[in-house]
Amino acid sequence: MYRQKETDDQHCLECGDKLPYGRSDRKFCCGTCKNRYHNRIMRQSRNYKQKVKDILERNYMILDSLRRTTLKNIPLSDLERMGFRLDFFTSCGLSSKRESYMCYDIRYHVTDGVVTSIARISIGSEDGV
């Protein structure tokens, strides 16, 4: 459990300095490095989650603006030009035997590269959401 020699060459996960003698499962040279490391991991996680929220928000704005128009079928390529990301949605499933996607409370279908049936669904009325 305890390292015998300095030649074991364990290094701090944060600063890379050689670890002092101690427990073999030690990962950091000091409390400051341990805190910095965990804060960085948490910050990266928060940043990633924020990026996903931003993408979903953009998708929502695009879908919401299109749903207010008289357009019935919109080529996916047009949506992608507006910044829409098909690979981000809040849920998906089958509706009327078609693949249906949700972006929060907006539902849409994608068939052969065309987005159709963009509609706002009142929360709680479908899919038990």
In sequence order, what are the residues at sequence separation of 6 or more whose Cβ sits closer than 8 angstroms to the Cβ of residue 111?
98, 99
Among 3, 10, 15, 126, binds Zn ion (CB under 5 A): 15
Among 19, 29, 103, 110, binds Zn ion (CB under 5 A): 29
- Which of 15-23, 38-46, 95-103, 117-125 is the region at the interface with Zn ion (rule: CB under 5 A)? 15-23
Among 4, 7, 9, 12, binds Zn ion (CB under 5 A): 12
First to last CA, the chain: 50
Of the pair 31, 124, the CB lying nearest Zn ion is at 31
In sequence order, what are the residues at sequence separation of 6 or more whose Cβ sits closer than 8 angstroms to the Cβ of residue 15?
29, 33
Cβ neighbour number for residue 118 with a 10 Å cutoff: 23
25-48 as b/e, with b when 16 or more CB fall inside 10 Å? ebebbeeebbeebeeeeeeeeeee
CB of 21 to Zn ion, least distance (A): 15
CB of 48 to Zn ion, least distance (A): 24
19 near Zn ion, judged by CB under 5 A = no
Of the pair 33, 106, the CB lying nearest Zn ion is at 33
Q: Where does this chain bind Zn ion (CB under 5 A)?
A: 12, 14-15, 17, 29, 33
